Amino acid sequence: MWAYVFRRLIYNIPVYLTIIFVVMALLRVNDPVYAFLGKNTTQEDIDRRREEFGLDRPFLTQYGEFLKRLAFFDFSQESWSRRGRKVSDEIAGAVIPTLSLTIPALTLTSLISIFVGMISAFFRGRNLDRGLVFFAVLGMSISFLVYIILGQYFIAYLPQKYFESHDMKETWGSVWFAIQGYEPGLQHWFHYIMLPVLISVIVAMGYDTRFYRAVMVEETGRDYIVTARSKGATQSKIMFVHMLRNALIPIVTRIMITLPFLITGSILLEMYFNIPGMGKTLITAINEKNLPIIETFTSLFAGLFILSNILTDVLYAIVDPRVRLT
């Protein structure tokens, strides 16, 4: 297995280098220094900044240096828009808010939708199943923006207003869901992050439930279910032990596919709830034309995607001994 992982890593190195090359080249099509400084600057100013940022050197030199930094995880470049702040500071500051949002969201979504998918598959064709499928499709068809606004208004804003008018702002208001914002620390987690987590669960549920239901339905037709039933296994044992175990491959794949998003974060939720995570940091950097941050973040994300692809294949082999890694 380790030989396999090693080989896959080697294969993916040229791919990764190409991705970085393309990203860096694209970022330099329009003069980034000019874009950063805006229209009202003199040529000398632009030249001076270009030299300071090291963009006056040939492209390949810049590419080589960037790769060297990446190889040693040296993210000490200075952010363009906030002087004195390094790229590594930006990363360090953004990782925790993102993870505190995405890890609970992914866990909850997976658990709930696997369960609902299983129930739905179990009652296949009956009214309960039809209702669940209908709601899943309905959930898929509503824009996440609608969920955000409904959540913010009904779950956060109205209760907060109520607390304020009933003199409970200090007690309840600081615990219950905030409309938006972020403060570090575990004690503030429920206040700021729980609502985005809930919304993200609801948004993802529609698709995931349908997916897991299809997986489970696939399994119900298999021979081993008949065998288990004929030897007298209880229904719940068939569902939770036999079926779930055999359905692990698609489940693992589905979860692994979403794994890189743990880091990239839910851009939309971070933007809307004003959480200073990875997604928001990157979008801000793109708007500010903050080149070092854009470059570093994109390269890191691409690397994560590649790694998670490899990890998926390895996990295949672990959950299903029939799969050989060659």
Residues that bind other proteins (CB under 8 A): 15, 18-19, 26-27, 29-30, 35, 124-125, 137-138, 140-146, 148-149, 152-153, 214, 217-218, 260, 264, 267-268, 271-272, 282-283, 286-287, 289, 294, 297-298, 301-302, 305-306, 309
Q: Which is nearer to other proteins, 25 or 103 (CB)?
A: 25
How far apart are CB 309 and other proteins at their closest, in Å?
6
DSSP 186: G
Measured between alpha carbons, how far is 13 from 19 in angstroms, rounded to an integer? 10
d(CA 33, CA 31): 6
Q: Which residues contact 45 (CB under 8 A, 6 or more apart)?
A: 37
Contact 159, 174 (CB under 8 A): no
Minimum separation from the CB atom of position 260 to other proteins (A): 7
Q: Are 261 and 102 in contact (CB under 8 A)?
A: yes
93 vs 260, beta carbon nearer other proteins: 260
Report the residue number, 96 or 137, with the smaller CB distance to other proteins: 137
Taking the complex as a whole, the smallest distance from the CB of residue 214 to other proteins amounts, in Å, to 6
Closer CB to other proteins, 94 or 148, in the complex? 148
User: CA neighbours within 13 Å on the CB side: how many for 46?
Assistant: 13
We find the least distance from the C-beta atom of residue 305 to other proteins, in angstroms, to be: 4
Q: Which of 49, 85, 54 is nearest to 281 (CA)?
A: 85
CB count in 10 Å sphere of residue 66: 19
Smallest gap, in angstroms, from Cβ of residue 196 to other proteins? 15
Task: Write down the residue that tokens 């956060």 correspond to.
Answer: 156
Residue placing its CB nearer to other proteins in the complex, 164 or 184 = 164
